[in-house]
Amino acid sequence: MNRKACVLSVACVAVSGYLLAGGFYLANKKSAGSGEKAGQACHLSGPLATRLMADGGEADKEADFYLVSLGQVKRQEGKTLLVLKDKYAPGLTSLGDYSHVMVYYWFDRNDNKEGRSLLQFNRQGKADPLTGIFATRSPSRPNLIGFTTCPIISVQGNIVEIEYIDAFDDTPILDLKPYIPRNDCHPEAETPVWVGGNRSPALGPRITP
C-alpha cells in the first residue's frame, strides 16, 4: 500500500468514528509547594461540571491529570480551521512541514451518565451479539475523546487550516500530532466483517510474540 492510500485509509477510519460527547476538566488537587496530593478529592471544572455532578457523575479519585482546551474547531467563509489560543501558537512551529495532522478533540454536545457507563451493546439490533465498547467507535464511552487525521492546507500564526474534520464548530481541541506513516500506517491491519473488513471472528484474537 502506498503512502497516499494508507493516509486515506486511516482518515476514512477516523471519519467513520465520528463521536458526539461532552467534556470536563479533571485534576487532582495538590497541596501548595509540597508536590503531595492534598487528600483524595478531585476537582471538576468546565461548562458541564455542574450538570455532570447533578447527574451523579463521580471523578476518578486516583486520577492525577488535567485536560485543557488548546483552542477550538472553527468553520469560517467555507474554511475549516483549528484556532489555537495565542499562548499555544509556538507549538505549531514546523507542523506545516507535514501533509497531515492528527487532531484529538473533546466533544461537548452529548455527555450523560448513561453514556459514560455503557460498556457493551448490540451492534445493529437486538439479534446481534453484545460487543464491548472498546471494540467500536461508539459515541458512548467512559472518556469521550475523538480524533481525525486531517490534510493540512496551511499553518499561519495560531491557525491551522485543514481540508475537513468530523467535529462540530467550537469543539475543544485537546492535542495535535503530526501524522507519520512509518509510525501510524499499518497496511497489515485487519478488521472484522461487521465493520466491512474480511477478518472472521472465528479466527480469534490476533496474538503477536
Write out pLDDT tens, residues 62-115: 555 678 899 999 999 999 999 999 999 999 999 999 999 999 998 778 678 887
206 falls within a domain: no
- Give the mean pLDDT of 179-183: 96
Cα–Cα distance for residue pair 7/13, rounded to 1 Å? 10
Residue 77, all three cell numbers: 467563509
What's the whole-model pTM score? 0.69
In this structure, are residues 49 and 40 in contact, taking their beta carbons and an 8 Å threshold?
no
- Does residue 178 or residue 48 have the better pLDDT? 178
In this structure, are residues 80 and 161 in contact, taking their beta carbons and an 8 Å threshold?
yes
> Read out DSSP for 67-103?
----EEEEEETTEEEEEE-GGGGGGGTTGGGSSEEEE
Residue 16 has a pLDDT of: 31
Residue 153 has a pLDDT of: 98
Residue 33 has a pLDDT of: 42
pLDDT at 27 over 60: no
Residue 39 has a pLDDT of: 34
Interior CA angle at 133 toward 82 and 41, to 5°? 75
155: containing domain:
3-23+69-188
172 falls within a domain: yes
168 falls within a domain: yes
Residue 34 has a pLDDT of: 39
Instruction: Compute the half-sphere exposure of residue 207: CA atoms within 13 Å on the CB side of its CA.
Output: 2
46 falls within a domain: no
74 falls within a domain: yes
Strand segments, DSSP code E, in the chain are: 25-30, 37-45, 71-76, 79-84, 100-106, 120-122, 130-132, 145-156, 159-162, 172-178
CATH number, domain at 115?
2.40.30.70
157 falls within a domain: yes
45 falls within a domain: no
**Count: domains in the chain:** 1
- Give the mean pLDDT of 173-201: 91
Q: What is the dihedral of CA 52, 14, 125, 23, to 10 degrees?
A: 0
- Give the mean pLDDT of 137-160: 91
Q: What is the mean pLDDT of the chain?
A: 74
Cα–Cα distance for residue pair 159/6, rounded to 1 Å? 26
136 falls within a domain: yes
